[in-house]
Every structure is written in structure tokens, then in C-alpha cells.
Amino acid sequence: MSGPSTYNPSTGIEKWLDERLPIIRLGYDSFVDFPTPRNLNYWWTFGGILAIFLMIQIVSGIVLAMHYVAHEDYAFESVQRITRDVPFGWLIQSMHANGASFFFVAVYLHMFRGLYYGSYKAPREILWILGVVIYLLMMATGFMGYVLPWGQMSYWGAMVITNLIGALPFVGEAIREWLWGGFSVGQATLNRFFSLHYLLPFVIAAVVGLHIWALHVPGNGNPVGLEVKSKKDTLPFHPYYTVKDGFAIIVYLMIFAVFVFFMPNVLGHADNFIPADPLVTPAHIVPEWYYLPFYAILRAIDFGIGPIDAKLGGVLAMFGAIGILFVLPWLDTSKVRSMRYRPLTRWFFIFFVVAALGLGWCGAKNPDDFVLGIEGFKFIYLAKFLTAYYFGYFIVILPVLGIIEKPKERPASIEAAVLGTDKA
């Protein structure tokens, strides 16, 4: 809640409850009368979309767990059985598998919105950091979930990623064995991944609670990046944003439905329809699409520097690519939040988006293949260049441009920006 409470219990029972557990007051002040900037655009609807998808994943996951068997010999079969024999199992399984992708699409749009509009800047640093924690938890949850159907890509994906941990000096091998629960990916691994995959979404839900709390202290940011100065800058959350969010959620769910009903496997990998076989390595091991940019960064570092060999270097770069997001609020030196008023930085941001997509492309390809068939121009070279840009954007471009760029003139207030009455 930001500002004093405006809730007035209207019935005796509400008053009675309010004096004992003011939970309706909390809901009212947070989601009904919450003063929300009046200029939020559709990029601000993805938080609500994410909340819905977290619920979809949890509910569909709980139903799947009622039928899934976490055993090397039965896991693959049990997923097949769910889609064929369990009443509406095909629907629940398709919602869960495609839901993961839609969850990640939404989280990426939510994060890039934050990067563009400077949502991570003071006083919203903790809100941003909690977001990065959620993102990390989502990555871990998605990775472990993908192992559960125990297809070829599940097994070999798990093998590649857990082996990376082994590259860490001193503790790497011990951690890897501990993750495996033995000396290779096997039954013990499957069991613990199932257990953690069930647990982590609830941890995510708890961190989302903190995220919303941290959001409601300073209140929402907005496209012009100015703080709320008067009541005229805001609208009550309900009905204005419940309706806007509701509309966006419905549209997003409609696109989701197209995938769930008409192309349930298009985002999956054909190799995962082959049961896991520790004796047959697939020709190309690729992770799910949402990890591809990081996979490309991992492979881009194919050289050692001093005591750091290529493998460790790749692992450090991959984790560093996410780790750097934690310190982003302190790397961007600009006083102006929104890139609407930072014309030069905006170009670098656009190229950053292109670089992130390009890294995803590199992650999906064999590093030695040629980009667009151009002789000699291997994907690994492109990946190296884009990796350099990725880090350069945070470490050099944002700190330097924040100091040297002269921002454009901004409106006097949010209200003035909406009404176009003031250009001062």
C-alpha cells in the first residue's frame, strides 16, 4: 500500500474482521484503491500475466504429479500415459509444457520493459533484485522440469548442465555428485529433481509476494519515468487497471490456447520423444529455447586465461550474464529513467535486444556452422561478438552514456504527459 488506507468496512462482519485481521483492508488498499500512474501502457500488463501463469503452472503441475512416476523405468511411459489415457491428461500436460514457454516469453518481455523504462532505478532496486531472484528460480525450476519426462534430451541436457558445475575449482566435483546423488545422472537424480521441481514454484510464489510488496512501497513506475506528484497523476487500480490487465490476460491466453490445442508439441524437441538412453548421445544437445542465449555465452568462451580454463571461463561467463543483472541499478549512472528521453542510449538498447535474440540463435546452432551459409563466418564468431556486446552494454555503455548523454526534455508531470499540456 502507498499512502493512508481508504478502506471503510461497510457491514458489521467486515468491521468485526477488520479489527482482528485486516485482510480485506490489505486487498482493498493494494488492488482496488491503489493509486496507479494514469499513463501505464500495455508493457505494464505482463506482471499480471505472469501471476496468472504462475498459477496455471502450479495447478496443472499438481494434477500431473498425481499421475507421474519418478522412476527411470516408468517416467517416460507415465507421461505418455497421461497424454493418452488420463481423462483430460493431454490438456493438462500440454498446458504445463507450453505454459513454461509462455511464462518465459512473458518474463522476458517484463524484464526488457524494465530495462527500457529504467524500472530498476532507485527507489526500485530491491524490487528489481527480487525479480532477478525469481528469474533464477524459474530457470532452475524449468531445467529440472524438463528432466522429468526422461526423454533423450531430458537425460542429456541434465548431463551437460550438471557436468558444467564440475568445472568449478575445488568444490565442483563434490557439488556435481551431490546433485546427481551418485556418480552419474540416474534414479537418485530424477527423484530429487522431481522433489525440487515440486517445491520451487512455491518458493517463487513467496518471492513474488515480496516482489509485489516491494512494488507497492514506491508504487508503479511508468513510461515517462517521473514519480507521482499529485492525485491527478494517478487512477485507482480498480476498475482502470483490473480491466486493462484483464484484457491483456485474455488476449495472451488466446494465443496460448492456439499452442495448447493446435500445436502442442511445436516448442518441444523431437529427441524427447525417444526414451532416455545413457548409451546413445544425441547428435546435437540443445536446451529449451529460453536458455539458448546463455548456452551461446557458455560456448562462446572457448579459450582459457591464466588459471581459468575454457570450461570454467564459459561457466563463469554464463552465470555472470545473469549475475550482472543484480548490480544493474548501480551500473546505470543516468538520472533519467525512461529511454524515451535518452535517444542515444535507446539505440544501444535496441541493439542489445537484437544481441540477445542473436545469442539465442547462436545457442540453437552448431558453433562450427556458417551464419547464413557465409563461408568462414562461423556461429561461434558471432556468439563471441554478441557476448562481448552483452557485457559491454552493462559494463561500459550504460555507465558512460549515463554521464555523457544529454537527455531530451521531459514533461513536468505524469498528468502533463498524458494531456500533452506541458512541454516544459
For the annotated binding site for heme b, the residues are: 96, 110, 197, 211
Does 336 bind ligand HEM (CB under 6 A)? Our answer is no
Q: Which is nearer to ligand HEM, 44 or 193 (CB)?
A: 44
Q: Which is nearer to ligand HEM, 239 or 278 (CB)?
A: 239
Calculate the alpha carbon distances from 257 to 3, 26, 102, 251 in Å. 40, 34, 11, 10
- Shortest distance in whole angstroms from residue 183 CB to ligand HEM: 35
Contacting range for ligand HEM; rule: CB under 6 A; set: 46-54, 89-97, 162-170, 390-398? 46-54
Q: Which is nearer to ligand HEM, 111 or 398 (CB)?
A: 111
Does 291 bind ligand HEM (CB under 6 A)? Our answer is no
SS3 content of the chain, % helix, strand, coil (to 5): 65, 5, 30
Cell 519418478 sits at which residue? 70
What are the phi and psi torsion angles at 333 (to 5°)?
-90, -5
CA angle 113, 119, 124 (to 5 degrees): 150
Query: 313: closest CA among 328, 297, 329?
Result: 297
- Nearest-angstrom CA–CA distance, 129 and 325: 8
Cβ contacts of 85 within 8 Å, gap of 6 or more: none
Among 1, 36, 54, 101, binds ligand HEM (CB under 6 A): 54
Q: Which grid coordinates belong to 105?
A: 516469453
3-state SS class at 35: strand
- Nearest-angstrom CA–CA distance, 68 and 80: 10
Contacting range for ligand HEM; rule: CB under 6 A; set: 47-55, 171-179, 338-346, 408-416? 47-55
- Shortest distance in whole angstroms from residue 37 CB to ligand HEM: 8
Query: What is the full DSSP assignment across 327-369?
Result: HHHHH---S---GGG-HHHHHHHHHHHHHHHHHHHHHHS-TTS
- Shortest distance in whole angstroms from residue 250 CB to ligand HEM: 16
Q: Which is nearer to ligand HEM, 91 or 200 (CB)?
A: 200
Does 28 bind ligand HEM (CB under 6 A)? Our answer is no
Does 50 bind ligand HEM (CB under 6 A)? Our answer is yes
Does 290 bind ligand HEM (CB under 6 A)? Our answer is no
Query: 131: closest CA among 328, 348, 305, 266?
Result: 328
Query: 150: closest CA among 195, 109, 194, 117?
Result: 194
Calculate the alpha carbon distances from 194 to 1, 138, 251, 419 in Å. 37, 15, 32, 53
> x/- binding map, residues 166-205, to ligand HEM, per CB under 6 A?
--------------------------------------x-
Does 241 bind ligand HEM (CB under 6 A)? Our answer is no
Query: What is the full DSSP assignment across 71-108?
Result: STTTHHHHHHHHHHTSTTHHHHHHHHHHHHHHHHHHHH
- Shortest distance in whole angstroms from residue 164 CB to ligand HEM: 22
Does 407 bind ligand HEM (CB under 6 A)? Our answer is no
Q: Which is nearer to ligand HEM, 208 or 317 (CB)?
A: 208
Contacting range for ligand HEM; rule: CB under 6 A; set: 130-138, 270-278, 343-351, 375-383? 130-138
Query: 51: closest CA among 228, 176, 266, 209?
Result: 209
- Shortest distance in whole angstroms from residue 318 CB to ligand HEM: 17
Q: Which is nearer to ligand HEM, 95 or 301 (CB)?
A: 95
Q: Which is nearer to ligand HEM, 149 or 411 (CB)?
A: 411
Q: Which residues pair with 36 in a beta bridge?
A: 235
Among 25, 28, 35, 44, binds ligand HEM (CB under 6 A): 44
Residue ranges that bind ligand HEM, judged by CB under 6 A:
44, 46-48, 50-51, 54, 107, 110-111, 114, 117, 119-120, 124, 127-128, 131-132, 134-135, 204, 208, 211-212, 215, 220-221
